[in-house]
Copies of this chain bind each other. A is one copy, B any other.
Amino acid sequence: MPTIRDVSRLANVSVATVSRVINANQPVSADTKARVVAAMAELGYQPNSNAKALATNRSDILGMVLGDLGGPFFGDLMAQAEEETRRLKRHLLVTAGGHSRDIELEAIDFLLRRQVDALMLHVDSLTDADLYELSTKTDTPIVLINRYVPDLHAHCIHVNNEVGGELITRHLIEQGHEAIACITGPLYKGDSRGRLQGYRRALEQAGLPYVEQRVVESDYMEAGGSEAIERLLSRKTPFTAVVCGNDLMAFGAIRSLRLHGFSVPQDIDVTGYDDIVLSSYVEPSLTTIHVPIGAMGVQAARLAVQLATGQRPTAQQAFEPQLVVRGSTRSRSSDQSSQPMHSKFVQQQ
């Protein structure tokens, strides 16, 4: 690999001049510039980014930590963030956090050692306190994706989970449901709590009681959704609809309900959250909340660059969730009410 020194020799100039031509940040006469350009072309010269990063203390790389790299949710986020990063003349270094505290911390360390210009984090296992501490320990700017940490307000790209939970619960109430169960994600996570809070608020606004027996905590996994249904059924507190904390748990819930002889949505309505691609293809297609994760990825990249270059942040930080009505919920006319399902419910038990 030729170096800047090889170029300077061939073009008969100093290395400083070559550097000036490369970065176009200081005046160079037209003909020296031409000589240098020719020399670079002849040698097939490529500047060494590590050396440049070492000298300038910036790498033009944005670091990103995600729960995992597969899956429609992260895929969309990553794809959009990468595109925007490229548009901003930067590159994206992605690492999987593996949903584990140690791996997430290791990933962050790695990126910091690499002198990334900013960090974009979509982390599960780190606490708000961890993140705040991290932000004080390093002066690398941090952007949190799909998470709201009050102390890091200016660094969050977030979506209002409470509104999402409220929207989808209200939708079920409008369909005529009065006994609505809820399967939440892990409640140590802020988004799970937010969605649950929205569920409560919608009930409250409709004058319906909040019944603890109808609420179970699960793990955002498909199997967890199945298992949660088992728990709900075993409690013998009837319900005619289930609000799930995400789409995957909704799939699990539907499967489990079917095993127990309920059909969706004829007997019981089920809703998801996230609007992953699958949700519009499954049978029945899933009524869910759309999270604009791609758009959030774009804005995360913008915010990261703005923070890194000291510009005034203009990236959109707060996003609104959107209700997507599909086949897993259906309008109940008042006469057929939910009574028949109650009886079937009891009979099934």
Contacts and interface: CB of A to CB of B under 8 A. Distances in A.
B68 A79 contact: yes
B50 A59 contact: yes
A209 interface: no
Contacts of A99: none
A339 to B, nearest CB: 31
Nearest to A59: B50
Interface string A225-261: 0000000000000000000000000000000000000
A50 B93 CA distance: 14
A130 to B, nearest CB: 15
B114 A50 contact: yes
A69 interface: yes
Contacts of A50: 50-51, 53-54, 59, 114-115
B96 A86 contact: yes
Contacts of A79: 68-71, 96
Interface string A64-107: 00001111101110111011001000011111101000010000
Contacts of A48: 54, 113, 115
A274 to B, nearest CB: 15
Interface stretch (A170-178, A277-285, A303-311): A277-285
A284 to B, nearest CB: 10
Contacts of A96: 79, 82-83, 86
What is the total number of copies of this protein in its complex? Answer: 2
A255 to B, nearest CB: 12
B114 A49 contact: yes
B72 A72 contact: yes
Interface of A: 44, 46-51, 53-54, 59, 68-72, 74-76, 78-80, 82-83, 86, 91-96, 98, 103, 109-110, 112-115, 137, 277-278, 281-283
A75 B82 contact: no
B69 A91 contact: no
A73 to B, nearest CB: 10
A331 to B, nearest CB: 23
Contacts of A95: 82, 91-92
Contacts of A54: 48, 50-51, 54
A43 to B, nearest CB: 12
A149 to B, nearest CB: 22
Contacts of A114: 49-50
A200 to B, nearest CB: 32
Given A50-B54, A72-B75, A82-B96, 4 more contacts: A44-B137, A49-B110, A92-B95, A93-B94
A103 B86 CA distance: 10
B46 A109 contact: yes
The CB with the most chain B CB atoms within 10 A, among A46, A86, A114, A278, is that of: A114
Contacts of A78: 69-70
Contacts of A82: 69, 94-96
A113 B49 contact: yes
A50 B86 CA distance: 21
A110 B82 CA distance: 14
A86 B115 CA distance: 19
A82 B109 CA distance: 17
Contacts of A75: 69-72, 74-75
A85 to B, nearest CB: 10
